[in-house]
Amino acid sequence: MFSSTSPILNVHGETTDTVVFFLNDFIKDNVKLGNEYIGIIHGRSSNILRNRIHELLKKNKQVDSFKLNIWNPGMTIVKLKIDKNQ
């Protein structure tokens, strides 16, 4: 479950091109660390970053599911596919 201690990546203010690298590296690192839930802060102004991030998350095989944070629509909560037998 996502909590206040879950890792968070803040890409608010970044470009859609740079967010690709930050997001992929962040996901890989957290899968290696065994973190099941992560947060991505993208902001909520024009939804350009949000749409790009959601597009990338849909294609990423290490992502189990994702949804907007109901208390903060400028953040997406991501559930990663973690092998709990490691």
- Residue 77's beta-bridge partner residues? 39, 67
- pTM as predicted: 0.92
- Residue 69's beta-bridge partner residues? 72
The predicted structure's pLDDT at residue 85: 67
The predicted structure's pLDDT at residue 25: 97
- pLDDT tens digits for the chain (86 residues)? 899 899 999 999 899 999 999 999 999 999 999 999 999 999 988 899 999 999 999 999 999 999 999 999 999 999 999 887 65
Asked if residue 82 lies in contact with residue 32, where contact means CB atoms within 8 angstroms, the answer is: no
Beta strands in the chain (DSSP E): 8-10, 37-41, 63-69, 72-80
- Domain 8-80 falls in which CATH fold? Ribosomal Protein S8; Chain: A, domain 1 (3.30.1370)
